[in-house]
Amino acid sequence: GQNIDQPTEMTATEGAIVQINCTYQTSGFNGLFWYQQHAGEAPTFLSYNVLDGLEEKGRFSSFLSRSKGYSYLLLKELQMKDSASYLCAVSLDSNYQLIWGAGTKLIIKP
Amino acid sequence: DAGVTQSPTHLIKTRGQHVTLRCSPISGHKSVSWYQQVLGQGPQFIFQYYEKEERGRGNFPDRFSARQFPNYSSELNVNALLLGDSALYLCASSSSGLVNEQFFGPGTRLTVL
């Protein structure tokens, strides 16, 4: 079976840093994605990790450890507009199907 | 260039009815994938079509079917609607079907009463 786990909800303060963790157990692996989704809207792409290590893109960074089945998304200098759900998704060997976690709802407080 | 478009935006149906959802991919993209996202959960893969042929199917009953037309647009059909079919239905397009280059449409919100 396929399993992706993320915390259900997290709260952080504007201007601070937050780390959202994702662990996965899947039958194959071709890469790990992070998406942002505001309520009622489609997911928007944030990052894609294939190899172990840290990928940095502006205020957002994503880390992957394939041997541990673990990833995290790091958000710095939090802004109120960062309040959204953050979804972790794994691409299987075929690379045409994504398996998604349930998402982490991030609440930013002033 | 226009992004992925979906219609309708919102839809209300009753149990037992049939529904057709439509998706137009980005110009030049030959692949369309469909996902179902129930409130509070991540999307679930339903189908992928590439060059008008089904490339993959998720764990959904036969009530769900889809097709892709010569212009690469796609329809998702759901028969005998159940309350549990209420969800956001997302369409994603890509040039080759690879998930690392897919773009999502705004989705269709289906409510089954």
Torsion sign across C-alpha atoms A68, B36, B47, B62:
positive
B48 — pLDDT class (breaks 50, 70, 90):
very high
Asked if A102's CB is within 8 angstroms of B42's CB, the reply is: yes
Instruction: Express each pLDDT in B75-104 by its tens digit.
Output: 999 999 999 999 999 999 998 877 777 899
At residue B108, what are phi and psi to the nearest 5 degrees? Answer: -120, 125
What pLDDT was estimated at residue A97? 82
Could you read off the pLDDT of B4-30 as tens digits, one per residue? Answer: 999 999 999 999 999 999 999 999 999
Q: Which residues of B touch A96 (CB under 8 A)?
A: 31, 33, 48, 50, 55-56, 97-99
pLDDT reported for residue B44: 94
The 10 Å CB-count burial string (b at 16+, else e) for B12-48 is: ebeeeeebebbbbbbeebbbbbbbbbeeeebbbbbbb
| Closest chain A CA to residue B49 | A96
What pLDDT was estimated at residue B92? Answer: 94
Per residue, what are the HEC states of A68-103?
CCEEEEEECCCCHHHCEEEEEEEECCCCCCEEECCC
